[in-house]
Structure 1
Amino acid sequence: MNFFAKLAEAVQRNNSLLCVGLDPQLELLPPGESLEQSLVAWGKALIEQTSDLVCCYKPNIAFYEQAGPQGLHALQQTLAAIPEGIPILLDAKRGDIGSTADAYARAAYQQYHADAITISPYLGQDSIKPFLKDTDKAVFILCQTSNPSAREIQQHGEPPLFEFIAQTAKAWGSVDQIGFVIGATQPDALQSIRAICPEHWFLAPGVGAQGGDLAQALQAGLRADGIGMIIPVSRGVIYADNPRQAALNFRDAINAVRAGFIPSAALSDRERLIISLFEHGCVRFGNFTLASGKQSPIYIDIRRVISFPDLFKQAVAAYLKLLHTLQFDLVAGVPYAALPLSTVAAWKMTVPLIYPRKEAKAHGTGQMIEGAYMPGQCAVLMEDIITSGGSILTAAETLRSAGLHVDDVVVLVERKQGGAAALAEHGIKLHPVLNIYEVLDTLKAHGLIEADIYTNVIAYLQG
């Protein structure tokens, strides 16, 4: 029986997604005749108290390696005490070239009889293959981990590295052999990887001592069938005064969330962006005066985006998808709302940034365009919102008067109130990420606005 089939049976039999991590702190072990005996007694006691409450056990090999040969012998004896129907997930985070990976795989599967193992993807597919030769075995590939500094590496690039890993590594084996490690402290990452890998199992550490929000993690990462996540807890169980009661409490807390879990269709990037804009107060309903002087029952305030890093990242990623389809030499941000977004987009694309001023400087050079450029270069404009197109046309005229070509503008939201036609008359093509009708339709479909608000805004836009 392969790991995931064994896991599914344990989940059903024990009604549990809880995994107890076996991470012994040597200084906290009970006294014994030898270190090996203390480790074995400690591990067996935990297993006896929790084996009917868990879906698997996750021994971390480092906590046994620190004790030398006695620790490794103790690990073998401890794992032998785990009931046959409970799978063993060895937390070793291995990753090396082929021959070394072969040796690691033999150690994990032949010496410790693990059913699955955690793996680093840094060396690529050939470092993973040895762990998948036995089709009954599985790997959990490090993707977005729960430690505080993980973002420095794992969220680098566009798309972020952790998403690239999931997209790439899911093709390294079948869904019956590949899982991913995604921290419960990272609900956004759980949600985005669930959209990429709707059927895969996730190992989601970080609940308990690391402060992960259990409800948020489960809502973001559960499969549509209400499973698909392993929730490992170590310190919160193994050093509790009553480990069995602690495990029972964690299992029941997980199941309470599962009971109220309502599977939702995987959101597209566009839907996710729209909902995030609304949830962060960037889309509001009421009575507003726009920069054009027009009255509006809806106001879209992209200036707020810069105060919410995850939303900021989503918005920049959306711009980049359009920018990568265009040809240009320079990115030109329209002041002022689009400047932070255009700065990050230009930096990510390693393209020079300029911006046209709204007024000439009264000191220094007195120039109307900030940044370095040469006449004849092509600049793509970036703006946040377009209504009538007036601010974009003003910026384009400033750039064109300096000898620059302006053929395209990318905006986050088009209000569908004549801006595109106005730009076209001046030879500028509009490329919107979203339009206001799509925003309204998405908010209504997800129950975020009432029908009367939707009807009122649609009537205003079409009036």
Structure 2
Amino acid sequence: MTTSSLPNYKSQLIEHAMSVDALKFGTFTLKSGRISPYFFNAGLLCTGPILATLASAYAATIIEAQSSSPSSNALPKFDVLFGPAYKGIPFASTTALLLHTQHNIQVGFAYDRKEAKDHGEGGMMVGVPVQGKKVVILDDVMTSGKAVRGAIDTVKANGGEVVGVVQALDREEVGQDGVSSTVKEVEDLVGQGRVQSILKMRDLMIWLEKNGMQKELTDMREYWQQYGLKN
């Protein structure tokens, strides 16, 4: 699992995230009660250089998913990036920008409000209308999947079709039942293979091994043996 090398955009995101403590290794108690050897907080990715790195990584992941296996339709062409309020808003706006400037792909972006606005344009949605459009949702990390399911419902309620989800990090863990995963559950809603991720837990392990962080790697391997997806 830890013998491959990582694309530059993955390594850069890991390193930038660690530099601002958005990615930390140690001992952390998750909401699920599990004791994790690492923690990821995308809300700390909030400077210009780091946002540029993250948006470039989102864009590269989208391009890779669309071009690596066209026959599988892993991530079809789409019209709008949707960023759930609040953390998803800069993800969607900056990724739309990078898709244009780096890949010459033009898509709109949209996001929701936590509370409906009763003046101006009103409503819960801001940005490009999603009515009749194919939409990809950008997420940070799926735990229970509650947030992304809410985003899917919001897009559908406004007439859009969710054709994919791209998350910053896939923890690659089994659910509380010890069998299923949140990613597979969300794929049941948007289509098999249409939940993509910039980073996976196995990528973090590759990076740790490459950088000689043996204790952290050992802890990650032990956690993987207990909770990691084995397929």
Q: Shorter chain as normaliser: what TM range?
A: 0.7 to 0.9
1:313 offset after TM fit, Å?
Answer: 1.8
Structure 1's consecutive aligned runs of 4 or more residues displaced over 3 angstroms after TM superposition are: 293-296
1:412 offset after TM fit, Å?
Answer: 1.3
| 2:93 match: secondary structure | helix
Q: TM-score, normalised by structure 2?
A: 0.73
1:444 offset after TM fit, Å?
Answer: 3.0
Work out whether 1:371 is the aligned partner of 2:127: yes
Work out whether 1:286 is the aligned partner of 2:61: no
Bigger proportion of residues as strand? 2
Match of 1:445? Answer: 210
1:405 offset after TM fit, Å?
Answer: 0.7
Match of 1:346? Answer: 96
Q: Is the 8 A contact 1:274 1:443 kept in 2?
A: no
| 1:306 match: secondary structure | coil
1:271 offset after TM fit, Å?
Answer: 2.6
Work out whether 1:335 is the aligned partner of 2:85: yes
1:336 offset after TM fit, Å?
Answer: 2.2
1:413 offset after TM fit, Å?
Answer: 0.8
Work out whether 1:461 is the aligned partner of 2:211: no
* Identity in percent: 17
Q: TM-score, normalised by structure 1?
A: 0.38
Work out whether 1:390 is the aligned partner of 2:146: yes
How many angstroms apart in 2 are the aligned matches of 1:280 and 1:445?
A: 21
> When the two structures are aligned, how many residues end up with a matched partner?
194
1:391 offset after TM fit, Å?
Answer: 1.0
| Structure of larger gyration radius | 1
Q: Which amino acid aligns with 1:278?
A: M
Matches within 5 A, 1:360-439: 360-361=115-116, 363-364=118-119, 367-417=123-173, 418-428=181-191, 429-439=194-204
How many angstroms apart in 2 are the aligned matches of 1:333 and 1:273?
A: 19
| 2:213 match: secondary structure | coil
Q: Is the 8 A contact 1:360 1:366 kept in 2?
A: no
| 1:361 match: secondary structure | strand
How many angstroms apart in 2 are the aligned matches of 1:278 and 1:443?
A: 12
CA RMSD in angstroms, aligned pairs only:
2.5
| Closer, same or farther: CA 371–312 of 1 in aligned 2, 3 Å | closer
How many angstroms apart in 2 are the aligned matches of 1:409 and 1:457?
A: 26
How many angstroms apart in 1 are the aligned matches of 2:227 and 2:88?
A: 24
Q: Is the 8 A contact 1:384 1:413 kept in 2?
A: yes
Deviations 1:151-209 (A, max 9, x none): xxxxxxxxxxxxxxxxxxxxxxxxxxxxxxxxxxxxxxxxxxxxxxxxxxxxxxxxxxx
How many angstroms apart in 2 are the aligned matches of 1:340 and 1:278?
A: 19
| 2:190 match: secondary structure | coil
Match of 2:45? Answer: 305
Report which structure shows greater RCO (CA 8 Å, sep ≥6). 2
Q: Is the 8 A contact 2:117 2:124 kept in 1?
A: no
Deviations 1:242-275 (A, max 9, x none): xxxxxxxxxxxxxxxxxxxxxxxx9731233323
| 1:381 match: secondary structure | strand
Work out whether 1:320 is the aligned partner of 2:76: no
